Amino acid sequence: MKQNFFKIDQKVSDAAEKALELIKPQFTTTDEIAEYNQQKVLSAFINNHVSESMFAESTGYGYGDRGREVIDKVFAEIVGAEDALVRHNFTCGTHTLAVALYGMLRPGDVMLCVTGTPYDTIHSVIGIDGKGDGSLADYGIIYKQVDLKDGKPDLEAIKEAVTKEKIKLVYIQRSRGYSLRPSLSCEEIGEIAKVVKANSDADIMVDNCYGEFTQTIEPTQVGADIIAGSLIKNAGGGLARTGGYVAGRADLVEKISYRLTTPGLGREVGATLGMSRELFMGIFFAPHTVGEAIKAAYFTAALFEQFGFGTTPTSTDPRFDIVQSVLLRNEENLIAFCQGMQSGAPIDAFVTPEPWDMPGYDSKVIMAAGAFIGGASIELSADAPLREPYAAWMQGGLNFHSAKMGIMLAAQKMAERGLI
């Protein structure tokens, strides 16, 4: 049954119908992955005897918080890791990554990023921007990188880098960030891990943001020593209001816990303040929610390809993160796209986003983000720096049917301005 709640041009409506027909096979594959991951999560909850008593609030030091302890075990089992640290007091993905890096590295260590220049907000953490302010560089940690080759990890160059110099940490960014290179599959991460482990004793850390539950395995199952990510992206399922996680080798997780709190206390302290229920629920819902977001990404690609815009990934490419890029060619198209998507948000649909100087970025950024949780990338959103190639990076969608309308309204806004 069709409803006409929104005034959509026939041109956009027809293109949407065609897009849905074209991506039926991709939807089937997405549902199969989501079902496998949902059963894996359910099994971990059952195996670890999750009970309602674990949702109880703790305050003060939080000693002996059963919910806090068990959620670590649940998440570790889900991602095939020895241990995990799932906490609401990780403030964002960048904070989680920073805590992990500071926990694993010491003065004089060399960090090697093997996926080119990492995402903008981590530059200040590493010290790439030269500003100091407590960066890794300030503490004498040396940063080096291996650039991508044709958008893919350069395995020969990685082998040479880890062979000729003692590397303490190899850093892999799974998702694309504000670039158009493909996101990495776990299989590709596994290939990097094989090269690194065969030629060095370096630890391997993966920025897993946007990639959780997009496949039936995680990087910790193909050689990564540590993965880290945000709970207001994939892993929180749209229910976690804040937080992040690290998972992997037990000794490294322990070191990272000392950086999150303090040496000697580590994971033993930290009141949950009544937030355990939504963290458990978020992780439980995550496989399904990620599946819905991937469907939204497929639909976006299929729809805008019909209007002649380039997309990456394309509507037929496999997905290893939830991010969809649309190459909109100019500033006018980009702004209209984001403003149209904002008009289809459940929250703040009446707001008109405009480009602004956002902290952590080197150019103005426009964001469409009408979310229940501020900045939650698992909810439908789009953002982009106003610079070449004028691509919108769209991600999320708590459920496909509402996300579909937000995406169609992005096209509708462009149609109203004669841009498509």
- Nearest CA to 158 out of 125, 194, 208 is that of 194
Do 202 and 164 share a domain, yes or no?
yes
**pLDDT above 70 for 2:** no
- Indicate whether 3 pLDDT > 90: no
- The pLDDT score that the predictor gives to residue 121 is 87
**Alpha-carbon span 180 to 151, nearest angstrom:** 8
Tell me, yes or no, whether 26 and 85 share the same domain: no
Q: What is the pLDDT at residue 126?
A: 96
Domain boundary among 249, 274, 299: 274
Whether residue 132 lies inside any domain: the answer is: yes
Question: Where are the extended beta strands (E) located within 254-308?
Answer: none
In terms of domains, do 195 and 306 share one? Answer: no
For the chain, the domain total comes to 2
Please, what sign has the CA dihedral across residues 254, 255, 257, 262? positive
In angstroms, rounded to a whole number, what is the distance separating the alpha carbons of residues 234 and 289? Answer: 8
Average pLDDT, the chain: 95
Has residue 108 been placed in a domain?
Answer: yes
The residue assigned the tokens 């030629």 is 199
For 312-364, give the DSSP string.
ES-TTS--SSS-EEEE--SHHHHHHHHHHHHTT-SSSTT-----B--TT-SS-
**pTM for this entry:** 0.95
Is residue 304 within 8 Å of 224, Cβ to Cβ? no
The confidence band for 1, taking pLDDT boundaries of 50, 70 and 90, is low
Q: Are residues 259 and 342 in the same domain?
A: no
At 189 the pLDDT is: 98
Q: Are residues 143 and 291 in the same domain?
A: no
Exposure string of 46-55, with b = 16+ CB inside 10 Å and e = fewer, is: eebebeeebb
Q: Indicate which CATH number applies to the domain containing 88.
A: 3.40.640.10
**CATH value at residue 349:** 3.90.1150.60
Q: Is 39 exposed, middle or buried (0-12, 13-18, 19+ CB in 10 A)?
A: exposed
45 domain-assigned: no
Q: Looking at the domain assignment, is residue 46 inside a domain?
A: no
Whether residue 3 is contained in a domain is answered as no
Cα distance between residue 33 and residue 295, in whole Å: 12
pLDDT digits (tens, 9 = 90+) for 119-176: 888 999 999 977 778 999 999 999 999 999 999 999 999 999 999 999 999 999 999 8
Residue 279 lies in a domain: no
176, 169 contact by CB (below 8 A)? no
Query: What would the two tokens of residue 37 be?
Result: 């991951």
Last residue of a domain, one of 217, 239, 274: 274
Summarised one tens digit per residue, pLDDT across range 299-308 is: 999 999 999 9
Are 268 and 166 found together in one domain? yes
Q: Report the interhelical angle of 400-416 vs 276-306 (nearest 10°).
A: 40
d(CA 181, CA 341): 24
- Is the residue at 324 inside a domain? yes
Percent of the chain at pLDDT > 90 equals 90
Is residue 221 domain-shared with residue 79, that is, in the same domain? yes
Residue 362: predicted pLDDT: 73
Q: Are residues 26 and 130 in the same domain?
A: no
pLDDT > 70: percent of the chain:
99
pLDDT for the residue 180: 87
What are 341's two structure tokens? 């998507």
Are 233 and 298 members of one domain? no
Same domain, yes or no, for 325 and 220?
no
The H or E element spanning position 90 is none
Element (H, E) at 170: strand 169-173
What residue numbers bound the domain in which 215 lies?
A: 54-274
Q: Count of CB atoms within 10 A of residue 74's CB?
A: 24
pLDDT tens, residue by residue, 21-67? 999 999 999 999 999 999 999 999 999 999 999 999 999 999 999 99
CA atoms within 13 A on the CB side of 274: 0
Label residue 178 by pLDDT band (50, 70, 90): confident
β partners of residue 170 = 112, 204
Is 4 a domain residue? no
Tell me: do 26 and 82 sit in the same domain. Answer: no
**388 pLDDT higher than 90:** no
**Are residue 205 and residue 258 in the same domain, yes or no?**
yes
Select from 274, 301, 330 the last residue of a domain. Answer: 274
